[in-house]
Each structure stands twice: as structure tokens, then as C-alpha cells.
Amino acid sequence: MTKLTRRGLLSAGAALPVAGLTAGAVHAEAPKLGQSFAQHRRFMIGDFEVTTILGGTTPREDPQSIFGMNVSEDEFAEVSRQNFLSTDASQFFFTPTLINTGAELILFDTGLNSEATLGALASAGYNADQVDIVVLTHMHGDHIGGMMTEGAPTFANARYVTGQVEYDHWAAAENEGFDANVRPMAEMMTFLGDGDDVVSGITGMAAFGHTPGHMVYRIESAGQGLAIFADLANHPVWSLARPDWEVRFDADKEQAAVSRPNVLGMIAADRIPAIGYHMPFPAVGYVDTGNDDAEFRWVPEAGQLMG
């Protein structure tokens, strides 16, 4: 048996032909290409093919003006430090999800605008005309922003599904975004209550608070489960791990602080993978119960879904 020692490696190197050592000198320097990020991630849940697509990402300053509004600056800083997060800026991700059931292609939320969403959709191998059903988890601008392209429906062949409570709230709210992007689809829209199915195996669950009728979705196919928790928690540390921290974007902060542990507790107990619209891309992971400090823990998927 040959033992590889440092000396052995050095002498092996020394035995290389001289041309091999100097070959690098004839190469041009590779150009720097700037940051890059894959725009989709696909995996199977039972017989369903699930794809997350990156509809956008943007930095935001002063994260405590958004998360942990009800905790001290010191506590926010300490939790951030423990998790290698800056208190000066944070990165936001926007992640629509596609599920191909084999019978229909279903898109959950439409992103900030159709251009970015269609770009990510194309990178994943789809075009807008293939989408059969658009599900809206709730009606904030970063979820309904891709519904229209230059005044026409982006997903020309789609019908729409959303929560009844959510629709009714915005329909009465005189909201510009809703009136431009959602109201024109009313004729093609069906409405869910808590526990109703989009299609067999995809069930809506009331998780109110972030908005008056915000819903999350429970997926079951061939014995495997998945949760799509949308904006139930908008950051893995500052919201998911600390569900009682107030979030500026939650319309009813008390109700959101009740819905968060309810749904996260279910996902943790069932040990199923989950997709969160604002989790760091590809936005796929697991939720574990936490410890003394944190009530829950976001565990990014680490290859478990590649089998």
C-alpha cells in the first residue's frame, strides 16, 4: 500500500512535465461575471412535480422597521448576531410555486410583476399558456403583481382560485392593485373556505392575520405531504423562529401571532417539507420545534427531496 504523505505529494508534483506547470500562463483571464442565482428548483412530492421559481429578490434597509417591532433593539441585535444577520439590511425573496399534478399545472401566486415571473417560469421550462389554475394565497401586491400583462391576463388559459374571505375583503376595500389585477378575473374565479380543495390533494387552510383571509395550502400525493405556507412567516429567523414578533406587513398582528404557531406547529409535528414565499430561495425546507430561545427553527432542504 502506498502511503500518501505531504512529501510524497510534493515529489509527485515535482515529477510533472514542465509544460504542465506553465500551461496556465497562456490562458486569458476569465472575466468576472457578477453574482448569479438559479431561478428554479424542482422536486417530486408523491406523483406531483413541484417547482419553486424566483420571481424577484431585493434588499431592504432597517429590518427592525419590519420585523420584531415589539422587541427591544438589543434583543433584535442579539438574535440577528446569533444568526449571522445584519441589522442594517436584509434580503427579500419572492417565490411563486408551480405544481404539475399530471392533470393540471397550478401556479401559487404570481409575483411582483409578470415580466420577472414569466422569466423565471421560462427558466423552469414552462410558458404562461400552460398554466391551468392560478391560486392566490392572499392579495398583497407582491402576490397579485403578475396577474396582468399590459392590461390582458398573463395566464390566458387559467381559471383562478382564492379564499372567499380574502376576496370579499379586498372587493370592498377600494384597492387599486386588487381592482386592476384581481377584479377583472372575478368571472373565472372560484372561492375556498377553510378545508376546501383546489383539486384533489391540494387543500386550503385558513391562516388569517397577515391579511384578513390569508390561506395556506396542504398538499398530499401518494402518501407524501407538503405545506405551502405563503406569508404566514416572512423571514426564517425574525418571524418563523419568533412567531410572536410583530411584523409590519401583518394586517392583524394579534391574529397573525396566533396563526403562525398553529400552522408551524402542524408542519413541525408532521415533519413534512414546506415552501415559504419569502424564505431564502429556493424557499424549500422543514420546520422544527425550537429551543428555549426560539419557538421554531427553519431547516433549509439539504438534498432530502432529490431522491
Q: Would you tell me which residues interact with Zn ion (CB under 5 A)?
A: 142, 231
Specify the 3-state DSSP secondary structure of 21. Answer: helix
Contact (CB, 8 A) for 289 and 295: yes
- Between CA 237 and CA 75 the distance in angstroms is 13
To the nearest whole angstrom, how small is the minimum distance from the Cβ of residue 108 to Zn ion?
Answer: 12
To the nearest whole angstrom, how small is the minimum distance from the Cβ of residue 239 to Zn ion?
Answer: 12
Strand duo 133-136 + 105-108: pairing:
parallel
Contact (CB, 8 A) for 293 and 287: no
Nearer to Zn ion, 231 or 250 (CB): 231
To the nearest whole angstrom, how small is the minimum distance from the Cβ of residue 212 to Zn ion?
Answer: 15
Nearer to Zn ion, 142 or 250 (CB): 142
Nearer to Zn ion, 68 or 96 (CB): 96
To the nearest whole angstrom, how small is the minimum distance from the Cβ of residue 288 to Zn ion?
Answer: 23
To the nearest whole angstrom, how small is the minimum distance from the Cβ of residue 140 to Zn ion?
Answer: 5
- Between CA 67 and CA 75 the distance in angstroms is 12
What radius of gyration, in Å, describes the C-alpha atoms of the chain? Answer: 23
Strand duo 189-192 + 159-163: pairing:
parallel
Nearer to Zn ion, 101 or 110 (CB): 110
Nearer to Zn ion, 201 or 209 (CB): 209
The 8-class DSSP code of residue 5 comes to -
Please report, for the chain, how many H helices and E strands are present, in that order: 8, 18
